[in-house]
Structure 1
Amino acid sequence: MAAKLRFNCTNNMAECEACIVGLKIAIGINVYELLVIGDSDLLIHQVYREWAVKNPKIVHYVQYVQKLCKRFHKIEFRHTPRIQNELADTLATITSMIKHPNTDYTDPVDRELKGHLVHCSHVEAEPKGLPSYFDIKKYLEFGTYPEDATSNQKK
């Protein structure tokens, strides 16, 4: 199965969306035991709660994946590097080549996901209520960093 996301999102958001679509398909066909093979080591460790979710835009995605996992009797996530995952690479290539004739078309899966908190439009809010580019714009205009900026953030 291949799905094409028809909205702008980060790679991590796309990984989560793909995982959610796959889990929902498995649930829809009454799968009770599932092996999820993915190339996002980050997502797998976050789903297993081994790594913290630091990006506020991803929190709701990971929580929703964890919620869907509870629908299975047994579920295992296994990391496979993209270079070794020929099937995923082939599906991604094929999907990127498919052009829908109607540019206003919205996939049914996308429409279905919009009702849940996992969709990117629900996680765009910034913690301080400011746009995500605010600190960058302030730096470009005045050459100043936020008071709480770490050395990594300044880079």
Structure 2
Amino acid sequence: MAEYEAFILDLKMAIDMNVYELLVIGDSDLLIHQVQRESVIKNPRITPYVQLIQQLCKRFRKIEFRHTPKMQNDLENALATNASMIKHPDTNYIDSLDIEVKKRHVHCSHVEVEPDGLPWYFDIKKYLETGTYPENETFNQRKSIRRRAHNFFSSGEILYMRTLDLGLLKCVDVIDVVKLLE
């Protein structure tokens, strides 16, 4: 969310400076694709940020987005460092966003059983335990399982997913989900 808030501030500053054409260079491929409607927004808390960014983008005659990998983005890092040292004279410059969180998320209203009857995390757990893949998996599917498996930790029969703050979330199947929702 911090990246989205920083981007909103950058756009507002460009608008205040009467910039009509803008080249946005960023290292967040996801942010760029979501703003350009090329990627689905999975986190409902991000939606208001993306909608505000899309509204602000309409204020420019021309706006172009360019993704640059983090390692090659020395210009953005230097600008971000400089920007963090400058205090804007108007302390109320950054408008706060009011985000309403629903009591019950849409994804909690309906739970589907996987077509094969196995839990959603079965392939990852099998890979962590045995190093094998499901039959008939393509190279890209195997690569995806390997990449995703780095974020999981198996302890006996229980599979946990690591969070960014190094916490662990227990992976549950559809039966456990139904019990939890009840």
In structure 2, what is the equivalent of residue 45 of structure 1?
33
**Structure with max Cα Rg:** 2
Separation in structure 2 between the aligned mates of residue 81 and residue 74 of structure 1, nearest angstrom: 23
Deviation digits for residues 96-123 of structure 1, max 9, x if unmatched?
A: 7x6x9xxxxx94333xx12xxxx2xx22
Deviation (angstroms), 1:81? 1.1
Q: Is 1:146 the equivalent of 2:177? A: yes
> How many residues align structurally?
110
SS in 2 for 1:31: coil
In structure 2, what is the equivalent of residue 54 of structure 1?
42
Change (3 A) 1:87 1:128: same
Q: Is the 8 A contact 1:35 1:78 kept in 2?
A: yes
Moved over 3 A (4+): 90-96
Q: Is the 8 A contact 1:58 1:123 kept in 2?
A: no
Aligned amino acid, residue 67 of structure 1: Q
SS in 2 for 1:64: helix
Separation in structure 2 between the aligned mates of residue 58 and residue 75 of structure 1, nearest angstrom: 21
Change (3 A) 1:18 1:51: same
TM-score of the two chains, using structure 2 as the length reference: 0.52
Separation in structure 2 between the aligned mates of residue 57 and residue 127 of structure 1, nearest angstrom: 13
Q: Is 1:83 the equivalent of 2:71? A: yes
Q: Is 1:65 the equivalent of 2:53? A: yes
In structure 2, runs of 5+ residues without a counterpart are 106-169
Aligned amino acid, residue 40 of structure 1: S
Aligned amino acid, residue 46 of structure 2: I
Deviation digits for residues 53-90 of structure 1, max 9, x if unmatched?
A: 11011000000000000000000011111111113334
Change (3 A) 1:126 1:91: farther
Separation in structure 2 between the aligned mates of residue 89 and residue 30 of structure 1, nearest angstrom: 24
Deviation digits for residues 128-147 of structure 1, max 9, x if unmatched?
A: 07xxxxxxxxx7xxxx8422
CA-atom RMSD in angstroms: 3.1
In structure 2, what is the equivalent of residue 108 of structure 1?
92
SS in 1 for 2:177: coil
Q: Which of 1 and 2 has higher RCO (CA within 8 Å, sep 6+)?
A: 1
Separation in structure 2 between the aligned mates of residue 95 and residue 28 of structure 1, nearest angstrom: 16
Structure in which a larger fraction of residues adopt strand: 2
In structure 1, what is the equivalent of residue 101 of structure 2?
125
